[in-house]
Structures are given as structure tokens and as C-alpha cells.
């Protein structure tokens, strides 16, 4: 049975969002290395306006291994995120923080998803975050596993994922459930 998100989520919840494939179009076998390559997915700006009204905090939690591979710098990633946040804010939404893991998956002791470290970092930034009142929204198995490892609810974007608490075709579909 699907959770009744509209009744579960109150103003004290936190939303963790994956970036590529949830907020913007994923580049298959590649990386978004500049703002020119960044493309919001349909309905995302409207979704973030709704989600901003329903969640206390919204964090983007993203692995960006392209930095570790030398395909882009953290300065380039930060510039993309600055533009992304400006567009979101111009459309009535808000992102409270962006946590990026630039490490290669092969690096020992990395903090990439599915490790829960970035959820704990968000809790350090905002100590009033209650992980029992958090949702991770992502389009990959690694996002669902991250959510499980952090002890948060999970929503999968795309085809139904049996390991997630729920699935929606897109972020706007999830946000539409929360409109009251």
C-alpha cells in the first residue's frame, strides 16, 4: 500500500533530492560540466515551488565523480549549482543546501551515495533535522540504498522500484500529490 504523503508530510520534514535524473536531464555516460549542458526536467521548477511550501528543508545530495575524473572542477560544479538555485528561486522554490561528493567510487573511505554520510552532513548543517522525518527522492538504486542506509523514507523517480517506499514518474508527479 502506498503511503499517504499528503497526510504524512507536515512542515517539519526534510527532502533530500538527487540532482541528475530528478532535477535535470541526465547525460547518459557523461556529466553536466557547464550551465549550457544543464536542462531542467519538465515540471521541476513548478514541483520545487510546491515542495518548498511543504518541507522545512530541501537539500540536493549528489555524487559528482566527474570532478574526481578531472572532467570538471568543484568551481564549475558550484557555478552550475548557483545558476540552478537562482532559477529555482526565480520560480518560487528554494534549495537550503547542496551536498556534493566529488570523489571517485574507487577511492577508499569515500562518502559517495549509497553511504549515508551526506545525510549526516545535512544534520550537522541543520541540527533540527530528524532523519525519521526525511525523504530521499532519486532515480537510481544508489539513491534508494542511500535512503535506507540513512534511515529515511525513499521515493524512486521512474519505473516502480520495489525497494523504495514509493515511486513516481517524475518530481512533479510527487509534488502534485502534496498540493492541498
23 inside domain? yes
* CA–CA dist 36, 151 (Å, integer): 36
**Tens-place pLDDT, residues 20-75:** 999 999 999 999 999 999 999 999 999 999 999 999 999 999 999 999 999 999 99
User: Domain range holding 98?
Assistant: 7-178
Position 82 confidence tier, pLDDT thresholds 50, 70, 90: very high
Place of cell 500500500: 1
Active site residue 20: yes
2 inside domain? no
pTM for the whole structure: 0.97
Active site residue 36: no
Cβ–Cβ under 8 Å, residues 171 and 155: no
Position 180 scores a pLDDT of 59
Selected catalytic residue, list 4, 20, 143, 163: 20
Selected catalytic residue, list 4, 12, 18, 36: 18
96 inside domain? yes
**Tens-place pLDDT, residues 120-169:** 999 999 999 999 999 999 999 999 999 999 999 999 999 989 999 999 99
Split into its structural domains, the chain has a count of 1
CATH code, domain carrying 94: 3.40.50.1000
C-alpha cell at 130: 530528524
Place of cell 525519521: 132
103, 171, 14, 148: CA torsion to nearest 10: -60
Q: What mean pLDDT comes out for the span 169-179?
A: 96
Amino acid at each position: 500500500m502506498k503511503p499517504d504523503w499528503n497526510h504524512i508530510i507536515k512542515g517539519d520534514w526534510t527532502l533530500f533530492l538527487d540532482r541528475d535524473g530528478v532535477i535535470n536531464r541526465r547525460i547518459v555516460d557523461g556529466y553536466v560540466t557547464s550551465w549550457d549542458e544543464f536542462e531542467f526536467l519538465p515540471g521541476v521548477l513548478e514541483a520545487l515551488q510546491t515542495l518548498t511550501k511543504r518541507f522545512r528543508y530541501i537539500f540536493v545530495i549528489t555524487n559528482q565523480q566527474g570532478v574526481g575524473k578531472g572532467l570538471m572542477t568543484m568551481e564549475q560544479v558550484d557555478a552550475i549549482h548557483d545558476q540552478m538555485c537562482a532559477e529555482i528561486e526565480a520560480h518560487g522554490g528554494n534549495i537550503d543546501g547542496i551536498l556534493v561528493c566529488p570523489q571517485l567510487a574507487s577511492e577508499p573511505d569515500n562518502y559517495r551515495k549509497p553511504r549515508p554520510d551526506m545525510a549526516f552532513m545535512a544534520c550537522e548543517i541543520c541540527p533540527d533535522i530528524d532523519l525519521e522525518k526525511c525523504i530521499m527522492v532519486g532515480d537510481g538504486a544508489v539513491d534508494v540504498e542511500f535512503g535506507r542506509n540513512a534511515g529515511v523514507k525513499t521515493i524512486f523517480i521512474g519505473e516502480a522500484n520495489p525497494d523504495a517506499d514509493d515511486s513516481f514518474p517524475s518530481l512533479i508527479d510527487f509534488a502534485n500529490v502534496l498540493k492541498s
